[in-house]
């Protein structure tokens, strides 16, 4: 019986050493990983998490950017004002209407376009792929200016085309409330 315990003990020593070595390697890997990810963690804490906490804290005070009244704690008063403010509900309505139009269109349109571009019957698919990728190369500001000029009520080529095909009073794409959502969704595509 003493022989069996000695054999077991001699086998246990290397096993413990291996386990200890693995823990050391694991700790070293953890430290190295934390070292590499620390710039992101610091940036997240400083530029995202702390401002979110500050905004939450400020939401319970009467703080104003212009520095009007003395800074004081108001509790849930701001949230009570928020719930009865008609502008808040109108903004939420506008946001949800835009999302209800934009989301299905931005899912379905690219899918059907991808299916079309992968069709073996389509000639010049490389040219069309370039045309689709080109807007991602153009800077955003230039894109906004281009769309503004294309959708202009008097000088835009979209309305010029509509007049050419016989529509006498084309819509004011960017000013008419009935056409703002469809035009922004079209621009977003």
Q: pLDDT (tens digit, 0 to 9) for every residue of the chain, 189 residues total?
A: 555 555 555 555 677 777 788 888 888 899 999 999 999 999 999 999 999 999 999 999 988 877 777 788 999 999 999 999 999 999 999 999 999 999 999 999 989 988 988 888 888 888 888 888 887 777 777 888 888 899 988 889 999 999 999 998 898 988 888 888 888 888 877
Encoded tokens for 54: 């500050």
> Where does a domain end: 77, 101, 134?
77
Q: Give me the number of domains the chain comprises.
A: 2
Q: Are residues 71 and 88 in the same domain?
A: no
Gap between the Cα atoms of 128 and 10, Å rounded: 72
What value, to the nearest 5°, has the Cα angle with vertex 163 and ends 158 and 166? 130
| pLDDT for the residue numbered 108 | 94
Return the HEC string of 104-173: HHHHHHHHHHHHHHCCCCCCCHHHHHHHHHHHHHCCHHHHHHHHHHHCCCCCCHHHHHHHHCCCCCCCCC
Q: Are residues 88 and 170 in the same domain?
A: yes
Residue 24 sits in which domain range?
2-77
Rounded CA gap, 144 and 105, in Å? 20
Per-residue pLDDT, 66: 79
The answer to whether residues 150 and 157 touch, using CB atoms and an 8 Å cutoff, is yes
Cα separation, 121 vs 115, whole angstroms: 11
Which of 59, 77, 95 terminates a domain? The answer is 77
Q: Do both 97 and 169 map to the same domain?
A: yes
- Confidence at residue 5, expressed as pLDDT on a 0 to 100 scale: 58
CB within 8 Å of 116: residues ≥ 6 apart: 122
Same domain membership, residue 136 and residue 68? no
Q: Within 13 Å, how many C-alpha atoms sit on residue 129's CB side?
A: 10
Looking at residue 155, which CATH number applies to its domain? Answer: 1.10.3720.10
* Residue 163 CB contacts under 8 Å (≥ 6 apart), including other chains: 170
Indicate the DSSP class of residue 176: -
Give pLDDT, residue 4. Answer: 54
Same domain, 109 and 155: yes
């Amino acid at each position: 019986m003493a022989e069996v315990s000695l054999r077991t003990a001699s086998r246990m020593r290397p096993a413990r050493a291996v386990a200890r070595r693995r823990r050391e390697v694991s700790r070293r890997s953890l430290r190295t990983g934390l070292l590499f990810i620390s710039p992101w963690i610091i940036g997240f804490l400083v530029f995202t998490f702390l401002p979110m906490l500050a905004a939450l804290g400020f939401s319970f005070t009467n703080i104003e950017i212009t520095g009007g009244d003395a800074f004081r704690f108001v509790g849930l008063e701001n949230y009570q004002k928020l719930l009865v403010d008609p502008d808040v509900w109108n903004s939420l309505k506008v946001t949800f209407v835009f999302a209800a139009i934009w989301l299905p269109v931005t899912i379905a349109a690219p899918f059907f376009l991808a299916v079309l571009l992968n069709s073996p019957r389509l000639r010049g698919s490389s040219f069309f792929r370039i045309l689709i990728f080109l807007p991602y190369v153009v800077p955003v500001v230039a894109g906004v200016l281009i769309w503004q000029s294309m959708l202009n009520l008097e000088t835009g080529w979209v309305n010029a085309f509509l007049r050419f095909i016989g529509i006498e009073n084309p819509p004011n794409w960017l000013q008419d409330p009935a056409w703002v959502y469809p035009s922004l969704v079209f621009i977003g595509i």
